[in-house]
Structure 1
Amino acid sequence: MEVHEEQIPDIPDLAEGGEAGRISEEQLMKFVADLPDGCRTVFNLYVFEEKSHKEIADMLGIKEHSSTSQLHRAKFLLAKRIKEYRNHEERK
């Protein structure tokens, strides 16, 4: 699945940090799957289906601001999980 990285600038570079810092697509998708429902839904619609916040709000029956907030939270949680994963891998 193609990720439009320019749309998720708050997430660290996935190849950064040498071999220990690399995160596979499978691992990244697991992190996405583990997001809270609202965050995951908005993230998937915005990043993978390239929907606008207006379109997402209309589809989900939420306010546009809620879509923006959910995406921001999803990116924050993913960045945190990636950092934790890299720290764990570096200690191995």
Structure 2
Amino acid sequence: MHYDPRIIYGREDTAADMWDLWNLISIPVLTLWGVESTILSAETVERMRATGPRSEIHAIEGVGHCPGLTTQAEIERVRTFLVT
């Protein structure tokens, strides 16, 4: 899957501190992280994990940004998260 790496840059007139928004989330979050992502760094993922119990990270090796859930194990991981 191809994407425009400029997607990480917001428009100046709508810029917001995403961490402020992240900290407002009060429900559990499952982040599907393609370890090879050039947009979501390991440092950012660790900060997401550390900033609250609502954040659960599922790392998918060998995949870049926007994992496609192509294996049964990946699909089952999401299913388990949703039913618990």
TM-score by length of 1: 0.26
Specify which structure has the bigger relative contact order, considering alpha-carbon pairs within 8 angstroms and separated by 6 or more residues.
1
Which is strand-richer, 1 or 2? 2
The structure with the greater share of residues assigned to helix is 1
